[in-house]
Chains A and B, each alone.
Chain A
Amino acid sequence: MTAGGRSQIGAPVRVSDPALPKTLDALSRPGRRAYDLPALDVPEGTIPEEHRRAQAPRLPEVGERDLVRHFTRLAQRNFGVDTGFYPLGSCSMKYNPKVADAAAAMAGFFRLHPLQPESTVQGALELLWLFERAVCEITGMARATFQPAAGASGELTGLLLMRAYHERQGDPRRRIVIPDSAHGTNPASVTMAGYDVAEVPSDARGLVDLSALQKLVDSDVAGLMITNPNTLGLFEEEIRELARTIHEVGGLLYYDGANLNAILGRVRPGDMGFDIVHMNTHKTFATPHGGGGPGAGPVAVTERVVPFLPKPLVERAADGRFFWDHDRPESIGRIHGFHGNFAVLVRAYAYVFGLGGDGLREVGERAVLNARYLAERIRSQYPLAYPGPPMHEFVATAKPLRRHGIRAMDVAKRIIDLGFYPSTVYFPLIVEEALMVEPTETESKETLDAFADAMLQAAREAREDPHVLHEAPVTTPVRRLDEARAARQLKLRW
């Protein structure tokens, strides 16, 4: 992208073609068509009249060229990692290697029906088998399931595993402890698993308050659900004590893998005392997030939780053949209609085996280096919310700008005009005017410097010319949108 002849990183795309109608519906003309089906080569069927549709659905009637131009325009009105820097905290928006897409586009993978006889899918089963071994090595776990279609689905799977585990001990429990800095999916998953949430506060360091946890846990607590590094980007240095505390009352320790990227090849959840781990392949293993999905949320567990994993699991017979093992009497059952998001898992496999053990360790290092460097570059204007050294992401605050009438969201909108996707704002909830920044390992020093300069420029403008921030963004196809109106005057379809 260029703007004014000057090369910019991540410039927002501007499109203005007033001749284009706004929606596919507005583009529709009776009788126009894109479809192209072969002539019927068998006698017509006989669907009984009482089952037939009386009135055709009002789908758009458009030509293929209309369709192409419409969706191309939509794509141009969207910002991805391929467009520019995307430091959205807690989302690990790293570069998505194209080779992974090429792998998923092999007919031997994308043209497989999920229920084909095992003899015809030996390669797919082998891939899952190999990948399971790799994710278990990375996390320090015994076995894994690939059924969960996303991280939140992995969380729920992990909590249902906890439930099954405790019920098997004849000791069903009612509560799950989560930190007050947790991602919203954690408490929502806890509810869906039929548990109550008990919240443990963070201490002055931004870490789980160990003494508060010790007071909170008892024999009714099924488990503790945390991420490490935590949501503030800080490493829970007392992790062994946290593990001991929850294990002493018979609870299990759950690792939310949202931040696994930071510690790849350096620290493994299993070695920290975790019993259940989910991974987000779109974070740690660079699978594209698709504007909201698909992801994949593999769940790996220690030996004592293995019997409860969803079924089937892939096994290898003595003769080397791979098969689906359905004979798992203590399994919690089925989390997904088929085997999970296989094409996403192929991409994650390509990433993990392409980088290898050494490459994965380098990923974690560089992710931490980038975050620490960027935090240092902007901390004069955006102080860190907590003093500890951040890992792969950091939470700063825009609170000093409040006296100029500037909020975190104003900074974010100005950053858009300066050519970047902004950081996460107002999360975690425990930090006022939070700016949660995660550069990832795939960004260069030049990009980080350019972003830091933009952040510092926004802070300067907040003092000198706050109007610029209140007005922002002005370079985008639409400007600030009226979200209150959207919720009040619901318009959810044509």
Chain B
Amino acid sequence: MQFAPHTEDDVREMLDLLGLSSMDELFSHLPADVRLERALDVPPGRSEMELLGDLGRLARRNRHADELVCFMGGGAYDHYVPAVVWALAGRSELQTSYTPYQPELSQGILQAMFEYQSMICELTGLEVSNASLYDGATALVEAVNLARGATGRDRVLVAGTVDPRYVEALETYGRGGGYGPEVLPMECGVVRAPDVGDDVACLVVQHPNVFGALEPIRELFDAARDGGARAIQVFDPLSLGVLAPPGEVGADIAVGEGQVLGNHLNFGGPYLGVIAARMRDVRRLPGRIAGETVDVDGEVGYVLTLQAREQHIRREKATSNICTNQTLIAVAASVYLAWLGPDGLRQLGEACAAKAAYAAQRLTEVPGVSLTFEGGPFFKEFALSFDRPAGEVQAALVERGFLVGPVMGESLLVACTERRTRDEIDALGEAMKEALG
């Protein structure tokens, strides 16, 4: 493959204009001791057909979610992606454009950003959003940075039921930010309201939590508010047709993994970091924000705004270093949310919750299987315990055609999206019985 269109004549004419006689002369001012005097040890180029043959071979060595029935959760979910989503988000005028630095040629992307921000605000019950962050985990890091900057306080309290990957990300980024997340103990799969002293910048709670369980979220955020800390909720966007939104339960900042909004599993990325906050924090938000304005003729149009927060203007004093984000995934999320509408969002949430409840009941009928945390309400995901290591059960289920997990300590997570049918849940029950038999 080669996509440079130059003919031999082109090359000659172009070199002539430059007064050069060979391509090598374009590089003649480079010091000799840094030049690579051999060919790169990358296999020679090949045709499109051959390349796709090679990639097909790699792809077939994977057992994917159309081949195995996917009950996996832990932050990425097998929700249905309607055909219309990528038919539109994949339009090449959008897909092959850059960050909208020239707004007159970028009204499509800019308006899509504005509409995405609008829908995220509606969804979360908060006041302002942005054009996206990398993923849920890094959105949490940005939210914590925002809270520390806004409060001028240092400590970061994190519920023990927040996804451990998110906590790991906080630990990594905290090395640069000069903080370490303090993880609160969990009791029976949820956390209790901690003491929030006047040195606490934020309290982070995931709701539904990493085990799918519903936290006493209002009490927890009351404690944060009383202590003058920012309340940060890690949320599942597709829970919000059914569950009270972050803005209503007392969150100041909401962050979530937007993969569930019309995006494919993609082995973990690209996903979508969703963030929403209250207006008082708008000047501390990270990343691009689209705003409405008018042109010289009074026509409504959209631009990137509040850019004085951003790295290309403010440099080392910027609210974040983010430049390239996940805009196209946010466009897909907009198509998806508009496809669902308010009723679809509610029905989809009810379906997930109903299927998860049915699955929990059905699977715990299998001898040797129990809920890790008995009794508490959950949304679309729950944890099971077995009379043997969860990893063994997971492997045995793969053999029988099911992807279940991830393994969390001694437990196995089971997630139900609207895609899972009663028949599949019943079949998983049978498979589990065999596996444990």
Contacts and interface: CB of A to CB of B under 8 A. Distances in A.
Contacts of B101: 88, 424
B64 A156 contact: no
Given A74-B94, A334-B169, A354 B45 contact: yes
Given A102-B52, A476-B104, A442 B5 contact: yes
Interface string B315-334: 11110111111111101001
A314 interface: no
- The residue in B27, B166, B355 that gathers the most chain A C-beta atoms within 10 A of its C-beta is B27
Interface residues of B, number: 205
Nearest to B279: A490
A127 B58 contact: yes
Best-surrounded residue of B55, B300, B324 (most CB of chain A within 10 A)? B324
Interface residues of A, number: 198
B308 to A, nearest CB: 8
Given A43-B354, A338-B76, A377-B17, A293 B58 contact: no
B75 interface: yes
A71 B135 contact: no
A338 B135 contact: yes
Nearest to B422: A41
B106 A291 contact: yes
A158 to B, nearest CB: 11
Given A74-B107, A116-B72, A493-B129, A188 B321 contact: yes
A124 B88 CA distance: 27
B300 A22 contact: yes
A339 B422 contact: no
B88 A336 contact: no
Given A41-B421, A59-B340, A237 B29 contact: yes
B183 interface: no
A481 interface: yes
A490 B322 CA distance: 22
A360 B3 contact: no
Contact of B244 (A53, A156, A191): A53
A472 to B, nearest CB: 9
A314 B156 CA distance: 32
B5 A443 contact: yes
Interface stretch (A246-254, A282-290, A399-407, A461-469): A282-290
B169 A335 contact: yes
B305 A492 contact: yes
B395 A117 contact: yes
Interface stretch (B114-122, B185-193, B194-202, B363-371): B114-122
A188 B311 contact: yes
Interface string B115-146: 10111011101001101101111100000010
A353 B42 contact: yes
Nearest to A366: B4
Contacts of A35: 82, 339-341, 343-344, 347-348
A488 to B, nearest CB: 9
Contacts of A116: 63, 72, 403, 405
Nearest to A311: B168
Nearest to A228: B34
A307 interface: no
B341 A479 contact: no
B46 A353 contact: yes
B353 A47 contact: yes
A258 to B, nearest CB: 10
Interface in B269-318: 269-271, 282, 288-297, 299-303, 305-308, 310-318
Contacts of B94: 74-75, 78, 80, 290-291
B137 A336 contact: yes
Top 7 A-B pairs, shortest CB-CB distance? A108-B59, A338-B268, A290-B328, A114-B268, A123-B61, A356-B45, A78-B108
27 contacts: A35-B339, A47-B242, A54-B248, A74-B109, A83-B93, A86-B98, A112-B64, A114-B267, A115-B74, A123-B60, A189-B321, A197-B316, A282-B324, A291-B98, A292-B131, A294-B329, A332-B172, A334-B172, A337-B135, A337-B165, A341-B269, A476-B107, A478-B104, A481-B301, A481-B302, A493-B114, A493-B129
